[in-house]
Amino acid sequence: MKIKDSVVLVTGANRGLGLAFTQVLLEMGAKKIYAATRKPDTITTKGVIPIELDITNKKNIENQSSLILDINMLINNAGIYRKANLLDDNTMEVVRDVFETNLFGMLSVSKSFAPTLIKNGGGVIANVLSAGCWLNGHGNLAYCMSKAAALSLTNDMRIALKHHSIQVTAIHAGFIDTNMMSNFSGIKLSPHSVAYHSLIAISQGMQEVLIDDMSKKAKMHSIDNIPYFTEH
């Protein structure tokens, strides 16, 4: 998959990692970039096309997927973090809320846009997951569950789309310096470098990108259940 001349839709493109993806795609010569966001007026990057897309809104997704017919790459980046523990009063509510975005949102967007990629002869769907697919820690019940489930979704997408020449790539990272991790004071990766290395890996045909040591160790030692970050 060549990034140059690709036509790409990035969800959650107004800030954080999604914004970095659009910037790196521009640097790498992508032909057209749809910067999908709930707030199109917050997109200020020149050279991208802002579109309104709430990944939890079925009608909105169906409407946009009927209008955007030229993509050959979808980057499922949008996601949320909500603190949740097993014994909280609102555990179920928070878990459902997080799943609505991180799992069902990803599923819904992929399901709606995959036929376009198929019609266009194939391409790439990249799902932004996390080291949290394999790790748990205090407060991270909803987030880690949702990312583990999204990993299963990603594996299924590979099976369903393999014969349609669609490469499905999972992107895993530990801590990235975005708003989501603003309360975490440890070392964080720059969103630009995560986006850059992910796109290079995608262009090399990789189906799984383990961006940092934390992701590599998390996957390797998942059975040991190393504590993920403990405070957020």
Ligand X SMILES: NC(=O)c1ccc[n+]([C@@H]2O[C@H](COP(=O)([O-])OP(=O)(O)OC[C@H]3O[C@@H](n4cnc5c(N)ncnc54)[C@H](OP(=O)(O)O)[C@@H]3O)[C@@H](O)[C@H]2O)c1
Residues at the site binding ligand X, with contacts judged by CB under 6 A: 11-12, 14-18, 37-39, 53-56, 77-80, 101, 105, 128, 130, 173, 175-176, 178-181
Q: Measured from the CB of residue 23, what is the shortest distance to ligand X in angstroms?
A: 13
Close Cβ partners of 215 (under 8 Å, ≥ 6 residues apart): 130, 131, 172, 173, 174
**Residue 99 class from Cβ within 10 Å (0-12 exposed, 13-18 middle, 19+ buried)?**
middle
Q: Measured from the CB of residue 221, what is the shortest distance to ligand X in angstroms?
A: 18
Q: Which is nearer to ligand X, 179 or 204 (CB)?
A: 179
- CA 165 to mean position of chain CA atoms: 20
Q: Which is nearer to ligand X, 161 or 181 (CB)?
A: 181
Which amino acid is residue 106, in one-letter code?
A: M
Q: Which bin fits 93, alpha (ψ -120 to 50), beta or left (φ > 0)?
A: alpha
Distance between CA 207 and CA 185 in Å, rounded?
Answer: 31
Any idea which residue has 């975490």 for tokens? 184
Q: Measured from the CB of residue 165, what is the shortest distance to ligand X in angstroms?
A: 25
Q: Which is nearer to ligand X, 23 or 162 (CB)?
A: 23
Q: Measured from the CB of residue 100, what is the shortest distance to ligand X in angstroms?
A: 8
Q: Which is nearer to ligand X, 164 or 188 (CB)?
A: 188
Distance between CA 196 and CA 20 in Å, rounded?
Answer: 8
Q: Which is nearer to ligand X, 130 or 140 (CB)?
A: 130
Q: Which is nearer to ligand X, 164 or 219 (CB)?
A: 219
Q: Measured from the CB of residue 121, what is the shortest distance to ligand X in angstroms?
A: 27
Q: What share of the chain is helix, strand, coil (3-state, %, to 5)?
A: 45, 20, 35
Q: Measured from the CB of residue 76, what is the shortest distance to ligand X in angstroms?
A: 8
